[in-house]
Amino acid sequence: MTLSIDKYRTDCCSEASADRLGLKPDSALEALEEAGCVLLRVVEQRPSMIRIDGLWVHQGLAKPNANWDRVAGCARGAARLGSEDLSGASFL
């Protein structure tokens, strides 16, 4: 498959190719550069929080100014109250 770059630097491919690859308008693509070639990969959408063995694990990146002491304090407070729902807590 050949892709072309138009004057606005947008990736262009045939509709059949886009359908076959599952590309939709506004799909995010990641460009990986290797020894004279570029590999485009669809960015996988995944939840930022998942539960592993009863613990909530953050899968993304935290803000650079994250206050981890406050995050831990809020989680401990919720655990003492028996609440697993931290969605309303303001950690940062």
Q: Say which DSSP state 51 is in.
A: E
Output the pLDDT for position 92.
Answer: 46
Whether this prediction's pTM lies above 0.85 is answered by: no
* Domain count within the chain: 2
**Has residue 85 been placed in a domain?**
no
Sequence-distant (6+) residues with CB within 8 A of 65 are 92
In the chain (92 residues long), the average pLDDT of successive 10-residue segments reads 66 77 79 85 78 85 81 79 60 48
> Rounded distance, CA 63 to CA 73, Å?
18
- Is residue 63, in this structure, part of any structural domain at all? yes
Q: Report the 10 Å Cβ neighbour count for 27.
A: 13
Strand-pairing partners, residue 41, are 30
What is the pLDDT at residue 3? 66
Domain identity same for 32 and 10: yes
